[in-house]
Amino acid sequence: MEQVNPTRMELIQKRAQIKLAEQGRDLLREKMDALIQEFFRIMGSVSRSREELEGLAEDAYRALVIAQAVDDPVALRSVSFATRKQIVLDIGGKNIMGVPVPLIEKKRFAVPSLERGYSILGVSGRIDETAERFESEIDLIIGLAETETALRRLGHEIQMNRRRVNALEQVLIPELKAQAKYIKITIEEREREDLFRLKKVKKILNRKKRGRSLAGGETAGKV
């Protein structure tokens, strides 16, 4: 056990530390409960988005296969080059229960056929449909990236809070209570020893007092 000074002041300080540690543990528990609720809420959204993304990916791939099988490969390749562009995202941030998570500005990359950069007269509806499905897939991927990142950060924060709670509950608080108990027992033993010595001194003083009284009585009788 860590060396402690077994005094009443030290005991008061240890009890104050125990109270503060228990309050901190309770606050961390409340925060962890709120984080877990938010985690499962977002996880539901992520699960739904993943299922939707899987369906969109299958539809987009199917549309692409059909376009490759039916349409002119040169035209399809030209359209792919015409629609190629950089994706620019505005990423900010927000806090969920004190946890910083990214916030991606909602932009739709699905655009009308006239804005895709190729002539609609030179392509079929199948190619338009393929482009539309892949654009929708990109939209969903970006949204999913935001929620999955938030989910990972919340999960990390929950683990950190759980470790802090365990450290307080299983290490710090028991140690402080053990120190407070040691100090209390030491003080009580010291008080019992002091009381015992006090009684012993009092008994000796009473014995001496009685001795002096007896001696005084004998002297008076001789006189």
**pLDDT number for residue 103:** 81
Placement of tokens 């006239």 in the chain: 114
Q: Domains in the chain, please, with CATH?
A: 20-170 (1.10.287.3240)
Give 214's strand partners.
none
Give the pLDDT of residue 14: 92
Instruction: For residue 126, give every residue at least 6 positions away whose Cβ sits within 8 Å of its Cβ, in sequence order, or none.
Output: 63, 66, 67, 70, 71
pLDDT attached to residue 177: 93
Contacts of 63 by beta carbon, 8 Å cutoff, 6+ apart: 126, 129, 130, 133
pLDDT at 191: 85
Q: Whole-angstrom Cα distance, residue 140 to residue 151?
A: 16
**pTM beyond cutoff 0.85:** no
Instruction: Rounding to the nearest 10 degrees, give the CA dihedral for residues 208, 212, 218, 220.
Output: -170
User: For residue 50, what are the CA distances in angstroms to 54, 147, 163?
Assistant: 6, 11, 30
What are the 10-residue block averages of pLDDT along the chain, 223 residues in total? 79 93 94 92 89 88 84 71 65 83 72 56 71 82 88 93 94 93 90 84 79 61 51
Look at residue 59 in the predicted model and tell me its pLDDT.
Answer: 87
